[in-house]
Amino acid sequence: MSAISLTATQQLERLESGQLASVELTQAYLDRIKEVDGQVGAFLRVDAEAALATAAKIDEQRASGKPLGRLAGLPVSVKDVLCMHGEMTTCGSKILENFRSPYDATAIARLKAADAVLIGRTNMDEFAMGGSTENSAFHCTHNPWNLDCSPGGSSGGAAACVAASMAPLSVGTDTGGSIRQPAAFCGVTGMKPTYGRVSRYGLVAFASSLDQVGPLARTAADAALLLEVLAGHDPNDSTSADVPVPRYAETIAKPLQGLRIGLAGEHFSEGLSAETESALREAVRVFESLGGKVHDISLPHSKYGIATYYIIAPSEASSNLARYDGVHYGYRTDEQQLIAELSAERKQLTEADDPHTLDRLDTTLVRMYRKTRSEGFGPEVKRRIMLGTYALSAGYYDAYYLKALKVRRLIHNDFVEAFKQVDVILGPTSPVPAFKLGEKLQDPLSMYLVDLYTVSANLAGIPGISIPCGQSPEGLPIGLQLQAPAFEEERLLRASHMFQQATDWHQKVPEIS
C-alpha cells in the first residue's frame, strides 16, 4: 500500500517510528502531483527541490535524535494567499504576479516551526473572491471527482489537492465559505475556525472582519492535527484571540455524550437539492444512533445572510484592495503608453474645444492607478470593488453598509439563542453538489447564492466544519456542515470524528481519468 493512501495521522505515526522517511513520503506526493495535476490543476507552483531538501533535513534530524515539531516530515500545501518570505504570493491575481513577500505569515511561520514540508501553493479564486476557482488569473482547477465540474472555491486548489491525494494536509482561508464549500464539493474535511483563532498576520486581506485561516484534510483527526499547529494568539494580529488552544489531536477520539444537535428549518427549505437533503437526513440518523438528540431550532435571520455578506465583504474588500496601486508592489501599467494615451486625449479635447471634459481628465497619477488596476484585476474582483465602493459612497452608507451591520447583529443573535438549546447545528454546507465549470460564470448572483449556508458563520464569527456525508446519483460528494459556539472547534472535531468512525464517506477517493 502506498504511503499516500494513509491519513496524515497514520503517516505521522510511521514517520515518528522510523517506518517511513519524509523524503520517501514527499517524493510519493511529488510523483502523484506529476501524475494527476496536469488534469486537476490544483497547484499554482510546486516546489519539489525545496520540499525534498526540507524532508531530507528532517529525516537527518530525526535519525540523530533531535527534537522535532508537531508535523515533522508531513507534506502540507498552502493556498497562495499566505505570505512566505522570499517566495511568490499571487492570490491568483495578475496584479501580484511578480510579488515576493518580505516576511512569513504567522500561519507559515508556525508550519515551519512544526517542521512541516511545504510542498507547493494551491490555486484559488482571485483574492479569494469566488466559489468555483474559475476566477484565478492563471488557470482553473477541476474537481477530481468529475473533471468537468468545479472544485468549489475559493480554496478549490486546496480541496482538490487533498481529494486527489496530492497532499495529506492543506491550508485554506474562509471568508464566506471558501474552505467549507470546496471541502464539500471535493469530498474532504474542511474547517473555518472561530474568528480570531488563527492569526491573520501575513494573510493577504480580503474582508478583514470575516477572513479566517483553516485546515483541509481527509479526516477530522487530520484537520485537528493541523489546526493545533495553526491556532493560537499572535501579538502581530490584534484581532487574534488570547484564548488557550486545546490539544485537538489528543481529545479527538473522545466521544461526546448526549450531543444535542440543532436542525434549523431555514436550512431545509427551498433551494436545497433533494440528494443533499436525503444525505443530511441519513447523517442525522447516524448521529442519533451514536446517542445524539435532535432539537428543532430556528435561525430566522439566516435568509438575509447573503444580502448582508455581499454588502459587508465587498465594502471591506474595496478598502483593503486600495493598496494595489502600482506603486508599492506588483504590476504597473506601461508608463510610456499611458502618457501617450493621455496626451492624445488632451489634444483631442482641446481641438474639440471641450474645456469641461478637459478639466475632468485624469491626472497622470490617477490614470496610472486606474489603468494598473483595470489591467491587473479580473472581472469578479472589479465587481466587488465597485459594489463595495458604491455601498460605502455618500448617500448610500446608511442604507446599505450600516443596515448590513445591524442585520449582522441579528444573525449573530440568532446563533446565541440557538446555542442555548443545542451543542451543534447540523445543516448543509452547500445547497447543491459541485456544479459544472462555466455554469455560473455569466451570472454572478447565482454564484453568490451558493454561499447561502456558509456566510452566517463568518458574519457571526463562529466555527464551522464540512465533512463528507454522501454522494449524489452522479457520484459527486455531498457535505454536511456542523456549527458550534465561538472557540468550540474541539466540539466540532470530536463530533465529526464520531461520524467518521461510523461512516466511510471520508474514505472514498476519486478515480481520476
Residues with catalytic function: 79, 154, 178
Residue 319 beta carbon to another protein: minimum distance, rounded to whole angstroms:
10
Interaction between residue 301 and another protein (CB under 8 A): yes
Cα gap 334→32, rounded to integer Å: 41
Nearest one of 44, 55, 41 to 82, comparing CA atoms: 44
Please choose, out of 141-149, 220-228, 236-244, 470-478, the segment that lies near another protein by the rule CB under 8 A: 236-244
Q: Which of 282, 284, 329, 512 binds another protein (CB under 8 A)?
A: 329
293 backbone dihedrals φ, ψ, rounded to 5°: -115, 125
* One character per residue 121-160, x = contact with another protein (rule: CB under 8 A): ----------------------------------------
Residue 175 beta carbon to another protein: minimum distance, rounded to whole angstroms:
12
Interaction between residue 407 and another protein (CB under 8 A): yes
Interaction between residue 328 and another protein (CB under 8 A): yes
Residue 478 bridge partners (DSSP): 470
Residue 447 beta carbon to another protein: minimum distance, rounded to whole angstroms:
11
Sequence-separated (6 or more) residues with CB below 8 Å from residue 185: 143, 149, 150, 151, 152, 156, 159, 430, 433, 434, 476, 477, 479
Cα gap 357→39, rounded to integer Å: 51
Q: Which of 145, 185, 248, 377 binds another protein (CB under 8 A)?
A: 377
Helices (DSSP H) in 146-198: which residue ranges?
156-163, 180-186
* One character per residue 95-124, x = contact with another protein (rule: CB under 8 A): ---xxx-xx---------------------
Q: Which parts of 243-272 interact with another protein (CB under 8 A)? A: none
Cα gap 480→184, rounded to integer Å: 7
CB nearer to another protein: pick between 185 and 331: 331
Cα gap 203→127, rounded to integer Å: 11
Return the amino acid letter for 62: R
Residue 453 beta carbon to another protein: minimum distance, rounded to whole angstroms:
17
Interaction between residue 326 and another protein (CB under 8 A): yes
Interaction between residue 196 and another protein (CB under 8 A): yes
Residue 87 beta carbon to another protein: minimum distance, rounded to whole angstroms:
12
**Contact predicate 159/152, CB 8 Å:** yes
Cα gap 241→221, rounded to integer Å: 23
Please choose, out of 15-23, 178-186, 215-223, 330-338, the segment that lies near another protein by the rule CB under 8 A: 330-338
Interaction between residue 304 and another protein (CB under 8 A): yes
Q: Which of 370, 441, 503, 509 binds another protein (CB under 8 A)?
A: 370
* One character per residue 424-463, x = contact with another protein (rule: CB under 8 A): --------------------xx--x---------xxxx--
Please choose, out of 45-53, 72-80, 109-117, 403-411, the segment that lies near another protein by the rule CB under 8 A: 403-411
- Label the pairing between strands 169-174 and 212-217: antiparallel
Q: Which of 182, 292, 330, 468 binds another protein (CB under 8 A)?
A: 330
Q: Which of 29, 248, 287, 369 binds another protein (CB under 8 A)?
A: 369
Q: Which residue has the cell 443533499?
A: 276
Return the amino acid letter for 126: E
Burial class (CB in 10 A: 0-12, 13-18, 19+), 52: middle
Interaction between residue 201 and another protein (CB under 8 A): no
Question: Cβ atoms within 10 A of the Cβ of 473, count?
Answer: 8
CB nearer to another protein: pick between 83 and 163: 83
**Contact predicate 133/140, CB 8 Å:** yes
Interaction between residue 307 and another protein (CB under 8 A): yes
C-alpha cell at 191: 474547517
**# chain residues binding another protein, by CB under 8 A:** 74
Report CA dihedral (370, 211, 421, 306) to the nearest 10 degrees: 20
Cis before 456 (ω within 30) = no
Residue 100 bridge partners (DSSP): 88
C-alpha cell at 88: 511568490
Interaction between residue 322 and another protein (CB under 8 A): yes
CB nearer to another protein: pick between 206 and 369: 369
Residue 376 beta carbon to another protein: minimum distance, rounded to whole angstroms:
10
CB nearer to another protein: pick between 253 and 339: 339
Q: In what order do the strands lie in the sheet with 189-192?
A: 43-46, 117-122, 75-79, 169-174, 212-217, 189-192, 464-471, 477-483, 424-428, 260-264, 293-297
CB nearer to another protein: pick between 170 and 199: 199
Q: Which parts of 176-195 interact with another protein (CB under 8 A)? A: 195
Q: Which parts of 12-71 interact with another protein (CB under 8 A)? A: none
Residue 368 beta carbon to another protein: minimum distance, rounded to whole angstroms:
5
**Contact predicate 429/479, CB 8 Å:** yes
Return the amino acid letter for 165: S
Q: Which of 224, 306, 452, 484 binds another protein (CB under 8 A)?
A: 306
Interaction between residue 484 and another protein (CB under 8 A): no
CB nearer to another protein: pick between 142 and 197: 197
Residue 377 beta carbon to another protein: minimum distance, rounded to whole angstroms:
8
Interaction between residue 497 and another protein (CB under 8 A): no
- Label the pairing between strands 189-192 and 212-217: antiparallel
